Each structure stands twice: as structure tokens, then as C-alpha cells.
Structure 1
């Protein structure tokens, strides 16, 4: 639902002048199109993230307090409804209406990753965290694959409103299934075996609690590993959002792919990325379990591969000029290497604080999501004519951000549970601060 607009907008608007020489007279005039320039399209594509960043923190706090089931589910349902309404709103309000609607969609989806993290903390033993966490988070890549592939096929046979009806309808059906089969933790699940409940309790009871004390904000915000993780998230999101939001436009404007082929070539990198994320996650858990490498170093290695590799290969793609096969191969290899982000920094929040993983994900992912606002705007400003040279500058910026943020993560990251995750520490710390505050009030002024 979030991604399908990236390819659909190429059919909603008149083509931008580019190397393929397409102009308004070449397009099918039976389809309703809008005269939105690259700047306006950048605003539309980034507006989702304006709402997305707002609900991260409330979503994380609510998920830790009440469980992630309905924090995530109701957010997805609202997004599905807004997706279904997209053709009507665009017809009525054009770009302004679509921007408002995308902000509302972002508000709904902002709870997703914090809620997922809160639920994963209740269901994943430490030695299985890379694999299970990556499988869940990398599901987003399968969504991107399906969004690009199906959107291309739908747009080839039908007009663009059909894309939003299909994905909005799937979203509503998903919500029904989610409500029926999802449970916040093992203790609520009606069909789980006693053996599995006992196993999960024994493996996780030291650092994971169903009802932890309130978030220790002071310690969390002063934690160096958290800010290192935040830097890595910013780098990942900068590169990923540039690709997921604008790759279909690159394939259409620079390489002149038809809408049907655009859906396929735009989805291929994410499919390969998904396979890489699953394989590297399995390897990461094996390496940690066998003591070959510490959990901290596994997280650093995965993040480094996923930063340097994609940055280098998307630059290579831009220098492959108009060689379609080589360009797609470069993008695909680069995005495949990005798959190691999942056993790298993406599950690192679960390492640092299982008890406050929802809030931690909200903080880290929420800050990273600001790049979703920035990157489409940068593409709109730096690549107004959608030329190869303009896109090359965009990709050089991506590489620079990747390298800087990865260096910060490698120097300061940590893969172990932090001291402030312990409920006893949090309670004792709060009590000590309360006593100091009361003592300070009772102390008479020096001049009295």
C-alpha cells in the first residue's frame, strides 16, 4: 500500500522530458493524467513519511503497554481504507488531496515497526533473533516485490485507479486474518503447547518481561549504542527510500522501460534482497551460536556489507549508462547486499533492550523515517529533467551517507542487553531520583 504509488505515479502524470523523447502526444489520452512536475511528485511521494514519523513513538509505547496486535492491525486497516479512497480523493483534490491522503496513510502505518518489535521481543529467543526478526522485517521486501510487479501488470491492462482498489482490498482482507490468528505473546495464545511456552519462558525470562516498568528515557537517550543504531538506520533508510520510492521513475525516464517491464525490473532487486536477508540471517545466528564471532561484531559486519555494497553498486549502475541489462544487474547486486542489514542493525534494538524494544524501534525507525521525507524532495530538486547525469549526483549522495553512518555504527555499536533494560534497575533508579527530589525540597535555603 505504501509502495504502489511509486510506479503508479508514472501513469498518473504526463511523462517528464528525458532520453526516451516521450511527450504528451505519445500517451494514451483515454487515461486521466495530471500535470505534476518533478518537484510536485517529490512532495507527493515524501508526504507519506510526514505522517509516518508522528505515530512511531505513540505506537511503540502503546504496543509495550497493551501489546502490538491492535496497534499494528488498526493502523494497517486505516491505511487500507485510505488506499481504497485514493482515486476518489485525487479526482476531487488532485495533488493537494493526494498529499493529505498520503499523510493520513503514514499516520496509520507509523505504528507498524514499533508494534512488530514489541511482539518479536515476546516471541523470539536470543539465539533465534537474527533469523526470526529478519524474516518478519524482510517481509516488507516481498511487499515491495508484489507491489511493483502487480502494479506493472495491472497498469498494463487497466487504468491506474485499479492499483489502489486491488491493494486496498488486500489490506482489508489482511486485517481480518490478522485479528483471527495473531496474539501478543505466548501466554495469550490458545493453541500453543505448554512445552513451547515453557521453552520461551526459560530462554527469555531474564531480559524480557510482559509488563516492564515505564520507559527509562534518561538512560535510553544517553545510550551511545542507541545513537549508533540510529545513525545506521538513517543510512539504511536514505539509500532504501531513494531506491524504493524513485527506482521505478529511473527505469521509466532514463532506461525507457514500458510500464509492464518496469514493474518486473523494479521488483527484481527486492526479491533478491529478500533471499539474501534470509540466508545471511541464518548464517548470523549460526556464527553467534557457535561462538565464531560475537553478537556485536556480527551486527557490525552485516551493517557494513549492507552499507558499502549497495552504495558502490548503485554508483556503478549510473556509470553503466543506458545498458539495460548491466544497469539492472548492478541495482540487483547492490540491493541483494542490502539484505544483510536485517541480521545487522535491524534486529539490534532487540539485542539492546527486549523490554523496551517497541519504544526503541519507534525512536530509531522514526528518526530514520525522516529520510523518507528528504530523499524524494532531493530527487525532485536534483533531477528535475530525469537525466542520467542528474541521477548520478543523487546516487553519489547516497554513497556518502552510507559511508558516514556506517563508520559511526562500527565504532559505537553494541550487541548486548543494556543495563537499563533491567526492571529492578529502572524501579531503583526512579526511587532514588524521587528521594533526591524530596530531599532537595526539604533542605532549607542557605540564608534561612
Structure 2
């Protein structure tokens, strides 16, 4: 026990602030969550098999010579509708635990909600191959639902942790750094899945990514804490800094959650609209881009995974650079918080939607299609310093609850889009996929307009309770002075 305390004490006294350690571990939490989630999108091409659309599509792209993109005989006899149900089933469980996760993380702290959620997702990821092979699609769907139940606490718990640890002037970068783990996880999950499947078979992706998540769970549980005051090895300097920066917006003793004010908040519903639009586009890409590459461009499984990951790599780079730009604009006071959130969210909505439409009309020109996907979808990364950190602006005290509401409702699109794609692309033709992308275009732009007219970057009055007000040091001193004067007069 002494030795364990010594190494953790040394870690706490290093030059790396503990809030950055927390943020980095939060980043790896999302990376693990997304690798476990999206690896199926590549694996299912090999599990269910793929067939050429040339018989049903007169405009079908030719199969490149020596590309390996010919028909793939899958292990399971699943049609496109069944594949759509399997890809969407994760979200059936995912949306259920969002709100409970947000409430419990506010009450108990985000550490254990986050860690146990990732651990349970890892366990069900490891048993996925057995469920698919011996239980059929029904059991496989059930395991995916259980994975979603575990992972549903991830974003609410992380939002609670960030609200307790990251000051507002650092949230653009560090909030983006953490949430941009969705892109890194997607890049790793899609690129590495193709390589693993070609080398070891489709089962390997579940075993590999599930094991990585268990390693993360052990490390995170040992070195991270829900609040700065609970951390036994944080420096006094950093603790004082966080108190000075956060005490005005984060209460130690929270009043009851102001449900009425939250659910009647116009900025919150604007935030929900923006999340729905983003998720509609993002989940369509994450779950179905490998299928598009297989159906339309006839990519081999290895090339499919690598090429499908490129847009998310660019999205990650854009996320980080735009996060730094957002922080700079705020520190220089060139733009208000509200305008920063609106502008960056609009960029992330309009340009990716245009890029998808353009790619669908680019025909069989590989370079043009991949370039359009990469450049325009990459701009979706400005979403993170846009509306993704907006819940922290509205209510640091109830950030976990807000994230649960916003992300939970947005995740309904994860149920709808894979199934809708499966129904629309039954013949796997380019025209059917173009219809999918036009729907994405309409949803993303309509929801962004709602956000532009309703968004706010200001802390809302209900952050301190239904009828609360900020508890500031000056207020406490004035109240104490008043009490002292009343005592003296008596």
C-alpha cells in the first residue's frame, strides 16, 4: 500500500496538472467507447457479405482489377434490413441510460459512472462473436443493446467531470480534445478493423478493442477522481486555481434539479436540435460509410477500413485547431460565447451536408469522391467547440443532466438512420445512396437554423436551482457582514 501511494503521490506532484490528466483519460475513454462501437460497421461487411449492385444498377461502378472488391461471401445470411437493425440496436440501449447516468453522475460524481459503463461495454464486446455465431441475429442484437446500456453513461459522466475540472477559458481546447475522441476512435476503429479482419478474421476486432477498454478501466480507476477536492495528490496550487475559476458557477451542495426550468429552456431545445442534426449526419457516416464504399466503389475489406477512416482523421485535426481558434476568439473578446458557438456549429452543419451531396454526384471517380468526403466531412469537426461544449456554458452545475438530455435525444437518430439506410438501399445502387445523402442534407441544415435562432452561450439562471442565484464570495462576505451588524445591534 505504501508503494502504491508513493507512485501516485509522485504522479500528483508532476508538472502535469491533474485536470489535464483527467482530460486525457477522458479522451481515451471516448476512443475506447467508439472503437468498440464502430468496429462493427467494418466487420459486418465481412459477417453479412457483400454483393455487386451491377445487376440492379445500370450506372454501377466497375469493380477495379485486383482490388479484391468482388462479392464477399459472408458467414451469416443477413439481408440489408437485418443489417440495419443490427447496426441500430446499440442505440436502443444507449439512449436508455443517458438520463439516469446524468442524474447519478451529478449526485455521486462522474468517475464510477464512466468507468463502470466502459467496463460493461468491454465485457459485452468480448462476448459478441459467441452471440453472433451461436445465438443468431437475435442474441447478437441483444448483446449490442447491452453494450449501448453500458456506454450510455459515457457522455453525461464526462460532462460532469469536465464541469468540475476545466475552467471556461480552457473548455474550447480541452473540451474539444476530449470529445474529439469520437473521431480518433472512429479512425482507429475503422482503419484497424480492416487490417485485423484480413489478418485474423472478423472476430478479432471484438477481442482486441474489448481488451483495450479493460486496460483503460484499470488505469483510470487508479489515477482519476470526480472532483479536485477528492483528489489526494493534486497540488495546492492547482486546487486553489480551480476554486478561483469554478466556485462561482459550480456549487458543492446542489439544490434539487430544476426540471421545469430545464425543459422549458429555449437554448436547451436549440441545443437538442443541433445535436439531432449533427448525429443524423455523423451516425449515417459512422455506421454506413463502409457499406457505401463496398456497395458503390466495391472496396476490399482492408482498403475499405483505411479509406473510410480518412475523413475522421481530418475531422479530428479540424476539431483541435478550431478549438484553439474558439478559445483565442473568446480570450481576445472578438466574439461572444454565443456567437462562437453559433458560427462553429453552422460550419459543421452546412459544409459537410454539401460535401455528401457533391460526393454522391461525383460518379465513380475515386479521387473526387474520397476528396469530397474528406474535406467537407472533416469540417464537421468545428461542431465540438461549437455546440458540443455548449451544455457546459448553459449550466456547469447540471452539465451531466443536460448532456444526458441532449445526447440522449440526439442518439435516437442512431436507431433511425441505419435502419432507414437499410430500407432505402435495398438494391445497393448509387441512386439509392444519393437519396440517403439528400435526406442528411435536409435534416442537418434545418436543425442548424433552429440552433442559430435559439442558442445561447450564457450561464442560465436555473444553474443555481429553480429560483437560485449565483453563490459568489462577495455575496457571502456581504451576507456575513449583514449578520455581524445585526448581531452587534442586538
Give the TM-score, by structure 1 length. 0.92
Deviations 1:121-164 (A, max 9, x none): 00111111111111110112111111011101011112111111
Query: Does residue 161 of structure 1 match 2:200?
Result: no
State the partner residue of 2:420: 378
State the partner residue of 1:199: 241
Equivalent positions of 1:136-175 (< 5 A) are 136-175=178-217
Equivalent positions of 1:216-365 (< 5 A) are 216-365=258-407
Q: Judge conservation of contact 1:232–1:408 (CA < 8 Å) in 2.
A: yes
What CA distance in whole angstroms lies between the structure 2 residues aligned with 1:249 and 1:87? 20
Q: Decide whether aligned partners of structure 1 residues 317 and 28 sit closer, same or farther in structure 2, where only a CA change above 3 A counts.
A: closer
Query: Does residue 125 of structure 1 match 2:171?
Result: no
Q: Secondary structure at the match of 1:155?
A: helix
How far apart are 1:14 and its partner, in Å? 2.4
Q: Decide whether aligned partners of structure 1 residues 33 and 59 sit closer, same or farther in structure 2, where only a CA change above 3 A counts.
A: same
How far apart are 1:17 and its partner, in Å? 3.6
Query: Does residue 180 of structure 1 match 2:222?
Result: yes
Q: Judge conservation of contact 2:258–2:465 (CA < 8 Å) in 1.
A: no
What CA distance in whole angstroms lies between the structure 1 residues aligned with 2:101 and 2:270? 22
Q: Decide whether aligned partners of structure 1 residues 251 and 27 sit closer, same or farther in structure 2, where only a CA change above 3 A counts.
A: closer
What CA distance in whole angstroms lies between the structure 2 residues aligned with 1:21 and 1:100? 38
Q: Secondary structure at the match of 1:187?
A: helix
How far apart are 1:28 and its partner, in Å? 7.0
State the partner residue of 1:2: 37
Q: Judge conservation of contact 1:122–1:210 (CA < 8 Å) in 2.
A: no
Aligned pair partner of 1:64 in 101, 106, 111: 106
Gaps of 5+ in 2: 1-35, 55-60, 64-68, 471-490
Q: Judge conservation of contact 1:213–1:427 (CA < 8 Å) in 2.
A: no
What CA distance in whole angstroms lies between the structure 1 residues aligned with 2:300 and 2:228? 48
Q: Secondary structure at the match of 2:37?
A: coil
State the partner residue of 2:47: 12
What CA distance in whole angstroms lies between the structure 1 residues aligned with 2:324 and 2:176? 9
Q: What root-mean-square deviation, in Å, do the aligned CA atoms of Structure 1 and Structure 2 show?
A: 1.6
Q: Judge conservation of contact 2:391–2:399 (CA < 8 Å) in 1.
A: yes
Q: Decide whether aligned partners of structure 1 residues 313 and 28 sit closer, same or farther in structure 2, where only a CA change above 3 A counts.
A: closer
State the partner residue of 1:412: 454
Q: Judge conservation of contact 1:216–1:426 (CA < 8 Å) in 2.
A: no
How far apart are 1:232 and its partner, in Å? 0.2
What CA distance in whole angstroms lies between the structure 1 residues aligned with 2:186 and 2:466? 42
What CA distance in whole angstroms lies between the structure 1 residues aligned with 2:440 and 2:278? 9
What CA distance in whole angstroms lies between the structure 1 residues aligned with 2:43 and 2:192? 11
Equivalent positions of 1:87-98 (< 5 A) are 87-98=129-140
Of stretches 207-216 and 142-151 in structure 1, the one that deviates more from structure 2 is 207-216
State the partner residue of 2:12: none
How far apart are 1:82 and its partner, in Å? 0.5
What CA distance in whole angstroms lies between the structure 1 residues aligned with 2:409 and 2:96? 10
What CA distance in whole angstroms lies between the structure 2 residues aligned with 1:145 and 1:312? 22
State the partner residue of 2:479: none
How far apart are 1:100 and its partner, in Å? 0.6
What CA distance in whole angstroms lies between the structure 2 residues aligned with 1:361 and 1:16? 40
Query: Does residue 368 of structure 1 match 2:410?
Result: yes
Q: Judge conservation of contact 1:207–1:355 (CA < 8 Å) in 2.
A: yes
What CA distance in whole angstroms lies between the structure 2 residues aligned with 1:123 and 1:321? 48
Q: Judge conservation of contact 2:348–2:383 (CA < 8 Å) in 1.
A: yes
How far apart are 1:211 and its partner, in Å? 3.2
Gaps of 5+ in 1: 429-448
What CA distance in whole angstroms lies between the structure 1 residues aligned with 2:319 and 2:440? 21
State the partner residue of 2:14: none
Q: Judge conservation of contact 1:16–1:385 (CA < 8 Å) in 2.
A: no
Query: Does residue 213 of structure 1 match 2:258?
Result: no
Aligned pair partner of 1:41 in 69, 83, 86: 83
What CA distance in whole angstroms lies between the structure 1 residues aligned with 2:150 and 2:299? 33
Residue-pair matches, total: 424
What CA distance in whole angstroms lies between the structure 1 residues aligned with 2:468 and 2:427? 55
How far apart are 1:425 and its partner, in Å? 3.0
Q: Secondary structure at the match of 1:414?
A: coil
How far apart are 1:426 and its partner, in Å? 4.0
Give the TM-score, by structure 2 length. 0.84
